[in-house]
Amino acid sequence: MADENIEEGLADIKPEKGIGGDKSVSRSPILIVLLTLNLLMLGGLGFMQWQLFTKLNEKESIQDVVSADMSAAEGIVKKAFKKDDGILVTLDGFTANLAQGDGPRRFVRLEAVLKFDKKHSQKEFDARKPQIRDTIISILNSKRPKDLLEKQGKEYLKEEIKSSINNFMIDGTVTDVFYVGFQIN
């Protein structure tokens, strides 16, 4: 009997309109407009972030630029230093006094690589290494600082070294001289 009273009491209670009530809930038009605007703004913000992300991915990073430059430089170096083109021989570094002009004593530090033609003999190079070093030091001692500070002076020095070494080499000739380090103090 108590159960019947509870069921009758529940049947008399009508749900309130609004939250969680029956299906004919009244909706405010202002709330619908605000929700629609909110969704549109979120969509626009998401679209802007997507556009920014795609633009950032399209830009080259510093690593990409550097690796592209290094690849181009390696190609140039490979063309300049072909194995069948000649033989490269590294010289030990030089420190030599320069010819004294007006002013303090100056000296030059030079590290160079000689490029020989295909007929080059390593035995002859090893035997003539003291003579090659002496020739280069003598040439450097005769130069003034202002002669070597200009690009033309450095190019002339290369040609002078090349011709001086070729005067006493029997097997093979020097085809080029490359500066690896060049410092005047």
Q: What is the pLDDT of residues 86-98, one digit of tens each?
A: 788 888 888 888 8
Tokens representing residue 107 in the block: 């000296």
**Residue-wise pLDDT tens digits, 12-52:** 555 555 555 555 456 789 999 999 999 999 999 999 999 98
Q: Contact, 85 vs 128, CB < 8 A?
A: no
Predicted local confidence at residue 39, as pLDDT: 94
User: If pLDDT is split at 50, 70 and 90, which confidence band does 84 have?
Assistant: low
User: If pLDDT is split at 50, 70 and 90, which confidence band does 10 have?
Assistant: low
Closest to 98 measured CA to CA, from 26, 151, 148, 164: 148
Q: Is 109 helix (H, G, I), strand (E, B) or coil?
A: strand
The C-alpha atoms of residue 93 and residue 85 are separated, in whole angstroms, by 25
The C-alpha atoms of residue 86 and residue 80 are separated, in whole angstroms, by 10
Instruction: Tell the residue number behind the tokens 């690896």, with chain if given.
Output: 180
For domain 82-184, is the CATH number 3.30.479.30? yes
Neighbouring-strand partners of residue 178: 113
Domain parsing of the chain, residue ranges:
1-55, 82-184
Other C-beta atoms closer than 10 Å to the C-beta of 129 total 13
Q: pTM of the full predicted structure?
A: 0.53
